[in-house]
Amino acid sequence: MAFSPDEVDRYARQLVLSEIGGPGQQKLARARVLIVGAGGVGGPAALYLAAAGVGTLGLIDADTVAVSNLQRQILFSTADVDRPKVEAGAERLTALNPHVRVETHAEPLTADNAAALIAGHDVVLDGTDDFHTRFAVNAACVAAGVPLVSGALGRWSGQVGVFAGRPCYQCLVPESPPDAETCARVGVVGALAGVIGAMAALETIKLITGAGAPLTGRLLLYDGLAATARTVRVAADPQCPACRGVSGES
Ligand SMILES: [Zn+2]
């Protein structure tokens, strides 16, 4: 695949990086990334992945844009209020980079449709905030052998993890916490969503290009109030219903 003059110009700052260069840019152009949840994490991730030249971005979100989203969901503008998020998001991403193809799914991801939605993608990026969806995404990724980049946040802190086979996301979170906190209830600083979304996009770019050491089997915890970060290894759960019997990092 030859790049047009516009693409050579557009990706100039990546093409000079030894870890990406022409071959890495080709990998990005051929890549198909599925973003589950076009919200606080998925939105900034989608913007950076589109800007980087990921060839195909799938966007899954059943919601419409609300005014209260705009404090952190920078994929949308005030004029997008009441529009389907995937429609407004696709328009914004294509305006940012017309070389990117955006496939929209204005439906919730469930255990029933997860396998079909994930099929054919190289990486899945999950930025949703409910555990039923997260477990369904994780199980389908494990079954399909597709790496999962997971981002989550609340209040002033967030986390990013990459899961490829075993250990999986459900090894980290065995079941839905009884007092699961949502951003609607506990609040979140918008800039933190940007930090976590950008980190998730960066891990996705690393997975596609093979640059550096991805967070596979590890979890990066960022404390925005203290301005500290630490990375912990995720242990495989011998009883994990999602990845028991699957090979992986450990
Ligand atoms: Zn597991």
More confident residue, 185 or 58: 58
For the chain, the three-class secondary structure string (H helix, E strand, C coil) is: CCCCHHHHHHCHHHHCCCCCHHHHHHHHHHCEEEEECCCCCHHHHHHHHHHHCCCEEEEECCCECCHHHCCCCCCCCHHHCCCEHHHHHHHHHHHHCCCCEEEEECCCCCCCCHHHHHCCCCEEEECCCCHHHHHHHHHHHHHHCCCEEEEEEEECEEEEEEECCECCHHHHCCCCCCCCCCHHHHCECHHHHHHHHHHHHHHHHHHHHCCCCCCECEEEEEECCCCEEEEEECCCCCCCCCCCCCCECC
Sign of CA dihedral 71, 74, 80, 84: negative
Q: What is the pLDDT of residue 250?
A: 47
Task: Tell me how far the alpha carbon of residue 160 lies from the centroid of ligand 1, in angstroms.
Answer: 16
Task: Render pLDDT for 38-81 as a digit per residue (tens, 0 to 9).
Answer: 999 999 999 999 999 999 999 999 999 999 999 999 999 999 99
Task: Tell me how far the alpha carbon of residue 210 lies from the centroid of ligand 1, in angstroms.
Answer: 24
Task: Tell me how far the alpha carbon of residue 150 lies from the centroid of ligand 1, in angstroms.
Answer: 14
Task: Render pLDDT for 145-160 as a digit per residue (tens, 0 to 9).
Answer: 999 999 999 899 999 9
Distance (Å, whole) CA 193 – CA 151 = 9
Task: Tell me how far the alpha carbon of residue 127 lies from the centroid of ligand 1, in angstroms.
Answer: 18
Task: Tell me how far the alpha carbon of residue 142 lies from the centroid of ligand 1, in angstroms.
Answer: 8
Task: Tell me how far the alpha carbon of residue 108 lies from the centroid of ligand 1, in angstroms.
Answer: 23
Q: What is the pLDDT of residue 85?
A: 98
Task: Tell me how far the alpha carbon of residue 249 lies from the centroid of ligand 1, in angstroms.
Answer: 11
**Do residues 151 and 126 lie in contact, with contact meaning Cβ atoms separated by under 8 Å?**
yes
Task: Render pLDDT for 1-13 as a digit per residue (tens, 0 to 9).
Answer: 789 999 999 999 9
Task: Tell me how far the alpha carbon of residue 187 lies from the centroid of ligand 1, in angstroms.
Answer: 29
Distance (Å, whole) CA 54 – CA 26 = 9
Distance (Å, whole) CA 179 – CA 26 = 44
Task: Tell me how far the alpha carbon of residue 119 lies from the centroid of ligand 1, in angstroms.
Answer: 20
